[in-house]
Amino acid sequence: MNSITPSRTHIKRRVDDYLWRGDELPIRRLRELLDSQFLPFGEVAIIGGLVRDIARSGPRGFRSDVDLVLNASPKAVERIAARLGAKRNRFGGFGLITPLWKIDFWALRNTWAHQEGYASIRSLNDLLKSTFFNIDAIIYIINSRQLVADEKYILQLLSGCLEINLLPNPSIDGNLVRSVRRLLGWNMRPGLRLTDFLEENLTARMFEHVKVTEWELYRYSYAAQYDTKDDLLAALRTPSIRHGKLSGSALQYQLPL
């Protein structure tokens, strides 16, 4: 169940409570890792998932990876990655797997949208321009405990409209999977730009790919509840026709989206 916060101040309070006052072992280990390995090198922002999910549903709504952007030189970030044994990923950053967390991190200047010339990313605040989805355009700057989001961010969450923020992206198939899971799993409706993206890219082949990817990553496939890509597209476009099609078991899975 969603419990969307009524203001950015409330989101910040939720994130503050989660990061700095939580006493469970995983969050204590995350604080230790941030303090010892990342914060000494400059400003660090958490982008997307953690902040978004806490804004939507509180701390219990967050069950995903942590994405960090460091306002440090790419060379400095490479040295951090080497020291931690992190592996380079295909998006210009690094992935670190610990017993309790998976953390993806990259240098501000290596943000994909900046590297490809789709957005000018000169400060952490500019990251709001780089996300594919509108609801991911929110960051929390750890050093200053500052939350940064557009004034319309809460309204976008409350509206239930999932829309494209920046269309060019390095992973069409990945964003198709995320679109399906967020629209159906969170009972959202697509905006005009996202609707066009789905209609252009959700081919019969991609329909099969989305189903397989969902099973592999999440152990449940929303797309598999539909017989054809046209049936799935109709459900994605029109929330009112979804009811009864998604089984109760589908909605019990609160897995990373």
Q: How many CB atoms lie within 10 A of CB 74?
A: 15
pLDDT above 90 (res 184): yes
Q: How many CB atoms lie within 10 A of CB 1?
A: 4
* Domain layout of the chain by residue ranges: 8-155, 171-252
Structure tokens at 217: 């990553």
> Could you tell me how far CA 86 lies from the centroid of its own chain?
20
Structure tokens at 63: 């069950």
Phi first, then psi, for residue 146 (nearest 5°) are -110, 130
What is the pLDDT at residue 46?
97
> Which residue is associated with the tokens 């449940």?
220
What is the pLDDT at residue 240?
81
> Could you tell me how far CA 75 lies from the centroid of its own chain?
26
**Mean pLDDT of the 43-56 span:** 93
**Mean pLDDT of the 212-222 span:** 94
d(CA 239, CA 95): 35
pLDDT above 90 (res 254): no
Q: State the sign of the Cα–Cα–Cα–Cα dihedral 209, 214, 219, 225.
A: negative
pLDDT above 90 (res 239): no
Closest residue by Cα to residue 66 from 36, 93, 42: 93
| Contact criterion met (CB below 8 Å) for 126 and 120 | yes
CA distances from residue 79 to 20, 85, 200 in whole angstroms, order as listed: 27, 10, 41
Strands 102-107 and 161-162, bridge-based pairing: unpaired
Q: Is this prediction's pTM over 0.85?
A: yes
* % pLDDT > 90, the chain: 80
Instruction: Report CA Rg, the chain.
Output: 18
pLDDT above 60 (res 76): yes
pLDDT above 50 (res 16): yes
Span of 3-7, 63-67, 71-75, 177-181 with lowest mean pLDDT: 3-7
* CATH of span 8-155: 3.30.460.10
pLDDT above 80 (res 251): no
Task: Give the three-class secondary structure for 23.
Answer: coil
> Which residue is associated with the tokens 């939720």?
14
Span of 21-35, 51-65, 200-214 with lowest mean pLDDT: 51-65
229 forms bridges with which residues in the sheet? none
Please give the mean pLDDT across all residues of the chain: 90
d(CA 68, CA 81): 12
What is the pLDDT at residue 250?
43
- Residue 245 confidence class, pLDDT cut points 50, 70, 90: low
What is the pLDDT at residue 93?
93
What is the pLDDT at residue 64?
80
**Mean pLDDT of the 155-175 span:** 94
**Mean pLDDT of the 124-144 span:** 97
pLDDT above 60 (res 35): yes
Closest residue by Cα to residue 162 from 245, 58, 249, 52: 52
pLDDT above 50 (res 139): yes
pLDDT above 60 (res 179): yes
Residue at 187: amino acid letter: N
Residue at 54: amino acid letter: I
| Contact criterion met (CB below 8 Å) for 42 and 188 | no
- Let me know how long the chain is: 257
What is the pLDDT at residue 208?
97
